[in-house]
Structure 1
Amino acid sequence: MSIAQRLNQIRSRIGDAAAKAGRDPHAIRLVAVSKTRPLEDIVEACRAGQIIFGENYVQELAAKAASIGDPLEWHFIGHLQSNKVKYLAGLVSLVHSVDRFSLAEEISRQWGRLGRSCDVLVQVNIAGEATKSGTTETGALQLVRDIALLPNVRVRGLMTMPPFFDDPEGARPYFAELKRLSDLIAAEAIPGVEMGELSMGMSGDFEAAIQEGATLVRVGTAIFGER
């Protein structure tokens, strides 16, 4: 099956999951996770109408962005070291993985040099897994408050990576918990903060994530095939 055919399948499944939840499918954006994939795969997906691509590695994203002239939207979705932020400045439209204030400070500094602001999501380690990045559920509200004071960063929502389950229903409670946390933070009405985005759900569980409120689903294998 071609990348274009897989993309059509995914879009159809997104539509079905949205309908089941009584949601507008246009409120859910598909992020094609293109890390380690060759440029040809990205070009093929782009020709099939895919606009947003998510990358995990700074150098790889920068190289791909320089090679592809098409009007793509790049999102950074991996763990980000502060000393690498300067290579992303101005290249990405959304950073999904802000998990500490020092990283947000550096993002604000680097985008400020360009006279621009960067939209970010605060990554929450909703399951408290030692192997995963993310602020704690209890620390998320204070982190959002702190980031909101920075001049060149705008908090636009939350992101999480739940534990892996063979059954996508296993991840559902974690998606529901991130939505609850998002609503709680939104209720604080912090100036400059919007809780409009929930980045959650991947190839194996994005339908459950959509039914729990995801606005961004990060899908790689189901589009590009196994690595």
Structure 2
Amino acid sequence: MSVTTNLNQIRAEITAACLRVERDPQGIRLVAVSKTKSSAAIAQAAEAGQKIFGESYVQEFLDKADEVHQPVEWHFIGHLQSNKVKYLRNRVSMIHSVDRLSLAREINRQWKNLERPLDVLIQVNLGDEESKSGVSSDQTADLVREISALPHLRIQGLMALPPYCEDPEDVRPFFRRLRGLADEIAALELPGVNMGELSMGMSHDFAVAVEEGATLVRIGTAIFGARN
């Protein structure tokens, strides 16, 4: 199967999921997870109309970004060390994985003299898994409140990497919980905080994520094939 065929299939499945729950498919953005994939594969997906690409490793992103000449948008979706933020400065349009105040402060510092603040999502560890990054559900609102005071980033919503389950239906409660958490934080009406974006859903469970309110789905294997 070609990248173009895969992208068309995924878009069709997103549309079908939206129709099942009476959502507008235009409200869903597909993030092609291109970590470990070559710049040639990214260029191929871009030629097929894919606009947003998600990278997880700073050095790998830097190595590839200059080789992709199509007008693409880069999102950083992986665990981020504060000392690596400077390399992303003015090169990414969103960071999905802000999970602590120290990281947010460094992003704020690096974006200080740029024209516009950076859009960020707060990563929540829904399953309280030690192997995954993210703030715990019960501490998310406090972290959002602290980060919202930083002028050079804009909180746009939440991101989660829930526990892997073979059956996508088993992941549904986690997606539902993230949506509920976003609603709770939105109800606080914190200045400058938007909870409109939910980054959740991957290759095997994105349809369920869309049904539960995802606005950004992060899909790699279903587009590019198994990881290199």
TM-score relative to the length of structure 2: 0.98
Give the aligned CA root-mean-square deviation in angstroms.
0.8
Identical columns (%): 59
Q: In the aligned structure 2, how far is the partner of 1:82 from the partner of 1:134?
A: 15
Q: In the aligned structure 2, how far is the partner of 1:39 from the partner of 1:61?
A: 10
1:19 aligned partner, one-letter code: L
The one-character-per-residue Cα deviations of 1:158-208 (angstroms, maximum 9, x if unpaired) are: 000110011001110000000000000001110001001000000010000
Partner of 2:195: 195
Q: In the aligned structure 2, how far is the partner of 1:134 from the partner of 1:89?
A: 22
Unaligned 5+ segments in structure 2 are none
Mapping for residues 54-69 of structure 1, pairs under 5 Å: 54-69=54-69
- Count of residues in correspondence between the two structures: 227
Q: CA deviation at 1:63?
A: 2.1
Q: CA deviation at 1:21?
A: 1.1
Moved more, 23-32 or 107-116: 107-116
Partner of 1:218: 218
Partner of 1:155: 155
2:16 aligned partner, one-letter code: D
- The question of whether the paired residues in 1 share the 8 Å contact of 2:39 and 2:65 is answered with no
Q: CA deviation at 1:129?
A: 0.8
Partner of 1:171: 171
- Could you list the structure 1 runs, at least 4 aligned residues long, displaced by more than 6 angstroms after superposition: none
Q: CA deviation at 1:87?
A: 0.1
Partner of 1:26: 26
Q: CA deviation at 1:115?
A: 4.2
Instruction: Tell me the secondary structure at the aligned position of residue 184 of structure 1.
Output: helix
Q: CA deviation at 1:226?
A: 1.0
Q: In the aligned structure 2, how far is the partner of 1:158 from the partner of 1:185?
A: 10
Unaligned 5+ segments in structure 1 are none
Q: CA deviation at 1:114?
A: 2.7
- The question of whether the paired residues in 2 share the 8 Å contact of 1:62 and 1:91 is answered with no
TM-score relative to the length of structure 1: 0.98
Q: In the aligned structure 1, how far is the partner of 2:129 from the partner of 2:21?
A: 29
2:106 aligned partner, one-letter code: E
Q: In the aligned structure 2, how far is the partner of 1:174 from the partner of 1:74?
A: 26
Q: CA deviation at 1:152?
A: 0.3
Q: In the aligned structure 1, how far is the partner of 2:213 from the partner of 2:194?
A: 15
Q: CA deviation at 1:141?
A: 0.2
